[in-house]
Amino acid sequence: MRPDRVLVIDDNAINVELAAFVLEAAGFEVGVAADAAQARSRIASFQPDVALVDIQLPGMDGLSLVRLLKSQAATAELLLIAFTAFAMKGDEAKMRAAGCDGYIAKPIDVATFASQVRDPLQAQRGQRPAGPATP
């Protein structure tokens, strides 16, 4: 069985490097794209299970990319998670209205980041998210 694939779509090299490091350590296979055009090409070749989409991308912004991907049959079911420093009241609702399946705020918490990516994947597959242990 292949590891889950995550495409990190972000033009900030430091954000990409940290996210990739944490996700690879957690067993994910990671691909990267720096803008919407690269992301569209990379999605076709890498076939990710989930994409983390920065909202402030050069050229086409992340929400426009999400709308485009959700409107196309080949990518409509791709799990798309907003990956952004926007953390103002109402931003998450705006991102979900654009088609994002989730929201992860930057800077990431390295202790919980991998589960923030894995849990929506498991939920999409009908599996119980790992989450915190319960007594």
pLDDT in tens, 74-106: 999 999 999 988 666 778 888 989 999 999 999
Cα–Cα distance, 72 to 87 (Å, whole number) = 28
* Total-model pTM: 0.91
In the three-class reduction of DSSP (H, G, I as helix; E, B as strand; rest coil), residue 79 is classed as strand
Q: How confident is the model at residue 133 (pLDDT cuts 50, 70, 90)?
A: very low
Residue range 8-54+67-124, CATH number: 3.40.50.2300
Q: Where are the domains of the chain?
A: 8-54+67-124
pLDDT of residue 91: 80
> At residue 132, does pLDDT exceed 70?
no
pLDDT of residue 58: 95
